[in-house]
Structure 1
Amino acid sequence: MKITKRLQAKADAEGRKQIYLSAYTKVDGKSFHLTAKSEVYTLPVFFDNDKGIDLSKKRIIAPDVRKYHTEQLEKLNGIITAISKAETEVGNDKSVMVGDWLKNVVDKHLHPENYLTKEQKEKNKTFYELAEDYLVKKQFSYDHTKGFRVLVRAVARYEYFIRETDKKRKDFSFNVHTVTRDDIEDFRDYLRAEKDLAEEYPKIFENILKNYPANIKAGYGLIEGRGENATIKLMKKLKAFFHWLVETERTKNRPFEGIKIGCEKYGTPFYITLEERNIIASTPMPTKHLEHQRDIFIFHCFVGCRVGDLVKLTASNIHDDVLTYAPHKTKDEGEQSKVAKIPLSDTAKSLIAKYNGVDKKGRLFPFISPQKYNDAIKEIFTLAGITRKVIVRNALTGENENRPINEVASSHLARRTFVGNAYKQVADPNIIGEMSGHVEGSRAFSRYRNIETETLKDVISKIDKPTATKGDTDKREKLLAAGFTEEQVNMIMAI
């Protein structure tokens, strides 16, 4: 079959015209004219009836123009090869080569994804397409979604870096069906060293940051260092993603088997005292904006929810002066659904009343973005004179540092203030968990066991008592027999 090429009449904005393909075929003595669009565009000066595109027609060609037309010629030659192959597969039965036969052959070559079965489409999806499916299906909170997109961009950078630096893996892709345990461990090492690699290979990373896959959102144009906690969090998100892929039968690959991710390490949580909270609440603010954010922060200290849940609260979350909501982070991490319940204090109720009807979206308060809220909190602390130094764990080095609390204050400090002060009153994590939304057995509470000087003195005073008598021993045994725990017995005996 002879394929004839011609240019369409209309040119695009760049002056290029599409090449049309046509051919004649005979079936049972009847002649049929077949046509198809090639989706190949060329400047008329380079068009050739035989070759389609002939760059030898002009001696001097700009590099970008030559590159474009070379790619278009390769595309055209691929189409011609596909037509020849389809004709060969037809064999002697030319009866099918009528109507849209040529059009369909070309379209199938150019857009094979449109001719796949549902199962084939799922199997051919890229990591990035599956990642979007994951986010759509799971409906994570804003913060969790944002964090997962950070992971997706890191995978894209890793994929590009491997292709650029490893000659044996020029075609490497983070394919969920073929990625191995070694790839996962190599990716973890990459996460730990990415900032150093960016400094060692500046040109490569300049290209990486400009060439993210088209279907993912580009991030900031800067590679920042990350500590071990950040690496662990990203690896946990990736592991959860692969678990979902296997669970939903999108893949059978289990590259995380045998890999230990580890747990994040945190310092003792710092928080403000009730006195400091009250100082902040009573400090006049120079602007309405800061007054609003100060009031929100004080309310935040009385309810202790995460900021992602805080900004969604409306009057519908309050029943009989009790605030109830479903913590989104619990859902994000696959924990059993839990509803947090917080009886509202008089201060919290007065703040709700103060802002009743102010927010146009019907929320309890006129919330702003989490980042602007954090910035406002730092300024509010400074204005209130809450500047004492606290020990914080450097996220990059893992070392403890002394920092002014107003420099490191954020929305999460309100949650810690609620939990920490409540924990001082009743060190029962299950009671506090009912209000804070922590799941039963959460490791977070172990960090709130504040070993203060007075506590240590109290312990010493208790162990300074006379040696236990036989009566004490009998009493202890009776209490244990009655079902009291060792810890409860110790508390009773210490009184």
Structure 2
Amino acid sequence: MASIKRYISSKVEGNGRSEIMFRLSLSKDIKLRLKTGIYIEPSRFNPKTGAISKPRANQKEISEIKDTERKIRDLEDYIYDLCEAHTLAELTKDFFEKEIYRFHNPKKERKPKEVEAKLQKKFVELVEEFPDKRGLSEWRHRRYGVLSRSLHRFELYRKIKRRLPYKLDFEMFTTEVLEEYEEFLRNEPAIFDKYPKIFEEFPAETRKARKSRRPFEKGDNTIIGIFACLRTFFKWANEEGLTKNSPFARYHGKTTERYGTPIYITIKERDIIADYDLSANKPLEVQRDIFIFHCCIGCRISDLMRLTPANIINGYVEYIASKTKADRSDVIRVPLTQRAKDILEKYKDVEKDGKILPFISSQKYNVAIKKIFKTCGITRIVTVLNPTTGEEEQRPIDEIASSHLARRTFVGNLYKKVKDPNLVGALSGHKEGSRAFARYREIDDDLKKEMIGFIE
């Protein structure tokens, strides 16, 4: 007979709550620790009995705790039912994790009329609505914007070429059409030269210009990113009953993004930039200070530019990563170094539109970073992977410097010292097991020289 014992995680989230955990005993020798996905204030949980205490007067909190208590009981009943319905060999940790996810995210039954109403919409219209329906982050909204505009252009191109059916729908997407779509994306610069009207209504480049910009040549990583969005959309459409077509099941194009070793600056180089006298160029000095602050907290540029004084709490910067908040809403807390605190103090009385620092647009910020590197003499040659050709090339670091280099500098220098991706991930927002950390597992040049010395 299975038994469940409740306990509470020692980890306290940024909202002051901890996750209730289950210790599931299936037999004398088989015991599993399970995350419930249900959180509570630690003071409300009795570790001896597993009971949840209620406040006396706060009716709102009482209601919330009753709801939590009900969810816990329902989840326990659900797990007991699973234990009775399955063999011991089937009751693995992975099995329970999937079932707990289903418990919290039950599939909604949909009426045929609702499905029919969706199918009456144009294929690309459904693609455009998809990010809102899934509550995706602003970053993913932009990626689906790239996808939907390219699908519009692909549809117009098929119409010009009289390829039937030219209208995109779920069923016409065969493996061959996917291959044709990939070829279209790779050849867009040449297609623009021949059929510029295709790009007038649905431009490949959305930055402001008097006329449609000629699209840049797309590399493998860009195309793989577009196809990843389309694959996710088809998976959703299958789950919603909109189609049974799964064109990616037989698609054999490139599916894995390829990146080179992450380029970042050393702490010494960071300090050279931080201490360089830029007083003769005040606007550049401001952006230099923002870049150094960026190196000290390591967030993505989208998160940096939305930080306000409310995100600074007791010497920490606290935020939820916008890119991943739809999947994980963990609060990231990064202690502020003295250098970071000094930068905030320097600009505390400067007009910042409610932000923590006087930001400019991300595009202008990237231009400024390149100029800062060149001015400060940080121009060493680095080997990078050309995102379009996929070939390696040697370039001065100031030419490739950007806002993301600040994040890589934060992660790379921490990882050099700590070597624990989970500890670094707690500060950077990378999820446990992130493939991004594999790229930081490089041996330092100093250590390489030392090793070579062994065979001299």
AA at the equivalent of 2:362? P
The corresponding residue for 2:427 is: 435
Q: Which one of the candidate residues 193, 196, 216 is aligned to 1:206?
A: 196
C-alpha deviations, 1:434-470, integer Å up to 9, x for none?
0011111111111112323432355568999xxxxxx
Report if aligned partners of 1:212, 1:218 keep a CA contact under 8 Å in 2.
no
Q: Scaled by the length of structure 2, what TM-score is found?
A: 0.68
> Which residue number in structure 1 is paired with residue 417 of structure 2?
425
Secondary structure (helix, strand or coil) at the match of 1:191 reads helix
Structure 2 unaligned segments of length 5 or more: list them. 1-112
Identify if the C-alpha distance between structure 1 residues 449 and 120 changes in structure 2 by more than 3 Å, giving closer, same or farther.
Answer: closer
Q: State how far apart, in whole Å, the 1-side matches of 2:443 and 2:352 are.
A: 45
Give the match for residue 360 of structure 2. Answer: 368
**Quick check: 2:124–2:151 contact (8 Å CA) kept in 1?**
no
Q: Does the alignment pair 1:300 with 2:294?
A: yes
Is 1:149 aligned to residue 142 of structure 2? no
Q: Please tell me the residue identity of whatever aligns with 2:347.
A: Y
2:217 corresponding residue in structure 1 = 225
Structure 2 CA distance for partners of 1:453 and 1:218, relative to 1, 3 Å: closer
The 3 A distance-change label for structure 1 pair 424 and 126 is: same
Which secondary structure state, in structure 2, belongs to the residue aligned with residue 323 of structure 1? strand
Query: Which amino acid is 1:134 matched to?
Result: F
RMSD, aligned CA: 2.8
Between the aligned partners of 1:318 and 1:426, the Cα distance in structure 2 is: 25
Counterpart contact for 1:178–1:253, Cα < 8 Å: no
SS at match of 1:257: helix
C-alpha spacing 1:207/1:231, structure 2 compared with 1 (3 Å)? same
Matches within 5 A, 1:86-97: none
Return the offset for 1:211. Answer: 4.5
Aligned pairs (5 A) from 1:270-419: 270-285=263-278, 286-331=280-325, 334=327, 336-356=328-348, 358-419=350-411
- Structure 2 CA distance for aligned equivalents of residues 263 and 119 of structure 1: 33
The answer on 1:133 being equivalent to 2:133 is no
- The answer to whether the 8 A contact 1:269-1:416 is kept is yes
- The C-alpha deviation readout for 1:50-89, integer Å capped at 9, x for no partner, is xxxxxxxxxxxxxxxxxxxxxxxxxxxxxxxxxxxxxxxx
Instruction: Tell me which residue corresponds to 1:269.
Output: 262
Aligned mates of 1:161, 1:248 — CA distance in 2: 29
> Map of 1:32-71 to 2, 5 A cutoff?
none
Deviation, 1:186, is 2.2
Could you say what secondary structure the match of 2:285 adopts?
A: helix
- 1:174 matched to 2:168: yes
Distance 1:218 1:364, change over 3 A: closer
**Per-residue CA shift, 1:130-164, capped at 9, x if unaligned?**
12321323444443322321221211121111221
Q: Which moved more, 1:129-138 or 1:344-353?
A: 129-138
Cα 1:131–1:436 change in 2 (3 A) is: same
* 1:324 shift after superposition: 2.1
SS at match of 2:249: coil
**Same amino acid, percent of matched pairs:** 43
What is the aligned residue count? 339
Partners of 2:434 and 2:318 in 1: CA distance: 20
What SS does the corresponding residue of 2:215 show, helix, strand or coil? coil
Give CA deviations for 1:159-218 in whole Å, capped at 9, x if unaligned. Answer: 1112212x451x51121354233322321232223334445xx1xx212123549xx999
CA distances 1:110-131 after superposition (whole Å, capped 9, x unpaired):
xxxxxxx755432111123212
In structure 1, stretches of 5+ residues that fail to align are 1-116, 465-495
Question: How far 1:289 sits from its partner (Å)?
Answer: 1.9
| Preserved CA contact (<8 Å) 2:124 2:168 | no
Most deviating of 151-160 and 353-362: 353-362
Residue correspondence of structure 1 range 2-13 to structure 2 within 5 A: none
Alpha-carbon distance in structure 1 between the residues aligned to 2:309 and 2:154 = 46
**What's the TM-score once normalised by structure 1's chain length?**
0.63
Deviation readout 1:405-446 (Å, 9 max, x if unpaired): 111110000001101111111111111010011111111111
Query: Which one of 117, 123, 128 corresponds to residue 121 of structure 1?
Result: 117
User: Larger Cα Rg: Structure 1 or Structure 2?
Assistant: 1
AA matched with 1:315: P
Distance 1:253 1:263, change over 3 A: same
CA distance in 1, matches of 2:251, 2:304: 36
Task: Report if the CA contact (8 A) 2:128-2:145 is conserved.
Answer: no
Change (3 A) 1:211 1:302: closer
Distance 1:384 1:158 in 2: 46
In structure 2, do the counterparts of structure 1 residues 140 and 370 end up closer, same or farther at CA, with 3 Å as the change threshold? farther
Say which structure is richer in helix.
1
Structure 1: distance between partners of 2:163 and 2:382: 50
